[in-house]
Chain A
Amino acid sequence: MTLLNKTTAELQDLLHNKEVSVKELTEATYERVEKTDEDVQAFISLNKEQALEQAAQLDNEPVENRGPLFGLPLGVKDNIVTKGITTTAASRMLEDFVPVYDATVVERLNKAGMVSVGKLNLDEFAMGSTTETSAFKITRNPWNLDHVPGGSSGGSAAAVAAGEIPFALGTDTGGSIRQPAAFCGIVGMKPTYGRVSRSGLIALASSFDQIGPMTRTVEDNALLLQAIAGLDAKDSSSSPIEVPNYKEALTGDIKGLKIGVPTEYLGEGVSEEAKAATLEALKVLESLGAIVEEVSLPHSTYALPAYYFVTSAEASSGLARYDGVHYGYRSENAKNLDEIYRKSRAEAFGHDVKRRILLGTYTLGAGHYDDIYKKAQRARALVAQDFSDAFAKYDVLISPAAPTKAMKIGEDSVDIVTKFMSDILTTPINLAGVPAISVPCGFSNELPLGLQIIGNHFDEALIYKVAHAYEQATDFHTRTPAIREEK
């Protein structure tokens, strides 16, 4: 199918000139998804009927009303609620949960004329970094089906990389947009905490979670963020700071820009290939006129323990609402109210979710609250201070987005602490709430590697500027997995 190998700009032209109808493009998308997803397993559900209906309505829209995302296909991570469409968070707990409202981001994208194709797989309640802990299916990396796509937005990343859809929404609590984007060779942005409304996002850890765009190019990414960013009365933690025009930032000019490279992010635990690709990328940026210097973020090693204790505490409180009464799963084996709570939760939550609930409940318990939880929140403050200090001197910071390429399916679930080490380059960013993107920067054994560009609070435009300049100077984003050509 040739339509889906076209660039977004080409698709927009075709739609705008009415050479292709939204309905035709939507049908072509489903054709592609139905073929490719047998192998990739990125989608949890498809809402073909509603999407085709919406497409037919959009075709009647006068050309002058059509915005920059009009008629384009979108995939939504299945922890973002969609009115009338099952939203599971990849958990048995919400297997048959049909929300009665749309998340603000979905509302905004519908308004922009995007067609939501279906819901994408994730680790259960977004807890994980491989998309292996979904209660329903294991998503595969389109570059090599024996490997994981990363996680927890693995379904979103895989669907975009496999050419099933050009745009997807992911969520990032500790790297869940950037790491799968790196593993699948696409562009994934975690915006500043508060830049995008979390209304309608099923929370993992509310003071960390952020919804963000996952796309094939930096320009597409900027377009998608433009449409979802900004204050929302339904989310009091969303920021009133004005949203700039991101597309205008894509000038390619980064002359004189000051880049800091955190020493700690190229140290132990980072593979040689990830390190080499990052150093190579820095040379490219230098050749474009940027000034590169080393910088230290001295509290980096405390970020991971701080992250795990604080997010688990928030997760255990947040997940208390799943009690067998309010939503979804209710145990049939319960004989009284107390058993409804205990058995429903025991039967419907998966292993990793239970572990986080237990860890969080332990952390918040008397005797541990001061020693662990508060201590972790103090460490969090120090990690955030590191970033403030660094951004006083540098415009952006650069590191690998993930310490290795994608691991094999099953390979990673042996040792939990090692597994979590894979989050070492991304979690500090969420602790501080600053924005960061992953863009393709190389390959190792035909598996993609990602470059992380980190900016100061609300500096997404500057991140896009750097990412776009780098993308235009390299050709990693133009390479596609074989599965995209075969199908």
Chain B
Amino acid sequence: MSKLTREEVLAVADRAMLELTDEEADMYAEELSTFINYADKLNELNTDHVEPMTHVLQQKNVMREDVVQDVLAREEMLAGVKEHKDGEIKVPTILS
């Protein structure tokens, strides 16, 4: 029974771009440990000659021609945007 530490959880959260408080990290350390120990169950299986399954259907790549189409009017697109000005999307300053 291995247990994740707070630091390990914070490192995972960092990769996931998720800010966590120390209290949250402790809580998730508990919860995730339970799951990760559950992975031991899979080690009972001999999978030496088994190909990992990634998709249900054996489909080949589905290709189509790259054709320019009118999909969305600018007005419609901007309707889904929080802030816009002169037909352009406003984003927060990222360089200071």
Contacts and interface: CB of A to CB of B under 8 A. Distances in A.
Interface of A: 97-101, 192-194, 207, 233, 236-237, 239, 299, 301-302, 305-306, 308-309, 316, 320, 323, 325, 330, 334, 336-337, 340-343, 345-346, 349, 354-355, 357-359, 361-362, 365, 371-372, 374-382, 384, 416-417, 431-433, 457
B16 A358 contact: yes
Nearest to B80: A100
Contacts of B56: 192-194, 207, 384, 432-433, 457
Interface of B: 9, 12-13, 15-20, 24, 28, 31-32, 34-36, 38-39, 41-45, 47, 50-57, 59, 62, 64, 72, 76-77, 79-80, 82, 91-92, 94, 96
A355 B50 contact: no
A358 B77 contact: no
A301 B96 contact: no
Nearest to A210: B56
Nearest to B17: A341
A358 B53 contact: no
Contacts of A374: 52
Given A308-B38, A377-B52, A98 B79 contact: yes
B42 A302 contact: yes
B interface: dominant SS: loop
B35, B64, B91: most-surrounded residue (chain A CB, <10 A): B35
B36, B42, B50, B56: most-surrounded residue (chain A CB, <10 A): B56
B12, B54, B94: most-surrounded residue (chain A CB, <10 A): B12
B12 A362 contact: yes
B54 A361 contact: no
B18 A346 contact: yes
B75 to A, nearest CB: 10
Contacts of A433: 56-57
Contacts of A376: 39, 42
A194, A334, A375, A457: most-surrounded residue (chain B CB, <10 A): A375
A358 B50 contact: no
A342 B34 contact: no
9 contacts: A100-B79, A237-B59, A323-B17, A355-B31, A358-B12, A358-B16, A378-B45, A417-B35, A457-B57
Contacts of A239: 57, 59
B14 to A, nearest CB: 9
Given A302-B45, A346-B20, A382-B45, A309 B32 contact: no
A230 B14 CA distance: 41
A362 B8 CA distance: 9
B15 A365 contact: yes
Given A237-B59, A301-B41, A358-B13, A384 B53 contact: yes
Contacts of B92: 330, 334, 337, 340
Contact of B38 (A101, A236, A305, A357): A305
A125 B8 CA distance: 26
Contacts of A299: 45
A309 B16 CA distance: 16
Contact of B53 (A334, A380, A416): A380
Nearest to A432: B56
Given A372-B36, A378-B52, A457-B57, 5 more contacts: A233-B64, A309-B42, A345-B19, A346-B18, A384-B56
Nearest to B64: A233
A127 B38 CA distance: 19
A332 B17 CA distance: 17
Contact of B47 (A192, A325, A379): A379
A357 B18 contact: yes
A328 B12 CA distance: 24
Contacts of A384: 53, 56
B41 to A, nearest CB: 5
Given A207-B56, A358-B28, A379 B17 contact: no
A337 B94 contact: yes
B19 A342 contact: yes
Contacts of B52: 374, 377-378, 380-381
